[in-house]
Structure 1
Amino acid sequence: MMIIGISGHQNLPEAARRRAEDDIRALLRGQHEPFTGMASLAEGADQLFAELVLAAGGKLHAVIPSLAYETTFRGNALDTYLRLLDAAADTTRLPFDVPDESAYHAAGNYIVEHCDLLVAVWDGQPARGLGGTGDAVAHARMLGREVLVSWPQGVQRA
């Protein structure tokens, strides 16, 4: 079974969100075997990816960085997180007490180390803190994982 992981920015400009949606849909349509999408279900790219995995008939594996992770969400993002967590076929909860950069970094590494392909909704810039998308991409490349970067040229992250 193909395992596709996600790492991506939380605050996506609309053009980046549309591009990511198109790229992820095309990737998932091209799967000729059962697949699992692995995500931490963070707001932005993770939630978009998880929604598309489920819509395409894939299984969702949620990687939860810490206890009280849900406290990092507000409003619709919290509702979406809880709905996606409930829809996940598998859940891995990492042993961190608080949702912080160390927990996010560990979750990103876990996803990279357990996927066949990493989708990176990423502007190509260094991470803005430990555990950002730039760190996940660097780790994936170090391990020789295939990385699909989705980001429209010329679009700046907020």
Structure 2
Amino acid sequence: MTLAVTGHRDLTEQTAELVRAELRKLLAARAAEGPLTGLSCLARGADTIFAEELVEAGGELVVVLPAQHYRENKVRPDHAPVFDRLVDVAVEVHELDFAQVSHEAYEAANEVLLSRADVVVAVWDGRPPAGPGGTGDLVQRSRAAGVEVVRVWPEGSERAGTA
């Protein structure tokens, strides 16, 4: 089974731990059904938490980078060690051919996720899409394509700055 993650980057610390616990349970249940492959763009927040828990559950990680030189241009120094560790354990790193990170690059990355996913795991507050290439947008596109969407947003979850 192939799962792709989409989700918010701006999770509060408490929400990150709630989400981690829910993802751990979800991945354990799915792993009981058979081998897991997970796709992630490794953005801070939901993408990274999913990737860490997937690897911990014994799944194979596929990294989808929205643009060339993504690490150098978008990964902050405090996130770099976990980003690098996850890239190192990935069975595949798919780098898109965009020179810069943009809405277009994120939309293309979402297309890769959607094209390969049996299930989209959305760490999502349920709000309408803020624009193309984001979490809500991928949820809408997944549902329209008939791809199962599993929403993970535990009770008490908040995004930083929106509490």
TM score, norm. by length of structure 1? 0.92
SS of equivalent to 1:75 = coil
Confirm or deny: 8 A CA contact 2:11 2:158 kept in the other structure. Answer: no
SS of equivalent to 2:78 = helix
Quote the Cα distance in structure 2 between the aligned partners of 1:18 and 1:118: 20
Question: How many residues get paired?
Answer: 157
**Residue of structure 2 equivalent to 1:122:** 124
Confirm or deny: 8 A CA contact 1:19 1:150 kept in the other structure. Answer: no
Q: CA deviation at 1:46?
A: 0.5
> In structure 2, do the counterparts of structure 1 residues 59 and 155 end up closer, same or farther at CA, with 3 Å as the change threshold?
closer
Confirm or deny: 8 A CA contact 1:109 1:139 kept in the other structure. Answer: no
Quote the Cα distance in structure 2 between the aligned partners of 1:138 and 1:77: 29
Quote the Cα distance in structure 2 between the aligned partners of 1:156 and 1:12: 6
> In structure 2, do the counterparts of structure 1 residues 155 and 19 end up closer, same or farther at CA, with 3 Å as the change threshold?
closer
Quote the Cα distance in structure 2 between the aligned partners of 1:87 and 1:102: 27
> In structure 2, do the counterparts of structure 1 residues 52 and 156 end up closer, same or farther at CA, with 3 Å as the change threshold?
closer
Confirm or deny: 8 A CA contact 2:65 2:109 kept in the other structure. Answer: yes
Map 1:16-95 to 2 at 5 A: 16-30=15-29, 31=31, 32-70=33-71, 71-95=73-97
Identity among equivalent positions (%) equals 38
- The gaps in structure 2 that reach 5 residues or longer are none
Quote the Cα distance in structure 1 between the aligned partners of 2:5 and 2:15: 15
Quote the Cα distance in structure 2 between the aligned partners of 1:147 and 1:75: 32
Q: Which moved more, 1:122-131 or 1:138-147?
A: 122-131
Q: CA deviation at 1:154?
A: 5.8
Deviations 1:60-90 (A, max 9, x none): 0001110121121112212211211111001
Q: CA deviation at 1:123?
A: 0.7
Quote the Cα distance in structure 2 between the aligned partners of 1:112 and 1:45: 17
What is the aligned counterpart of 2:144 among 142, 146, 154? 142
One-letter code of the match for 1:65? P
Q: CA deviation at 1:113?
A: 1.9
> In structure 2, do the counterparts of structure 1 residues 129 and 78 end up closer, same or farther at CA, with 3 Å as the change threshold?
farther
TM score, norm. by length of structure 2? 0.90
Confirm or deny: 8 A CA contact 1:113 1:140 kept in the other structure. Answer: no
SS of equivalent to 1:120 = strand
SS of equivalent to 1:76 = coil
Confirm or deny: 8 A CA contact 1:15 1:152 kept in the other structure. Answer: no
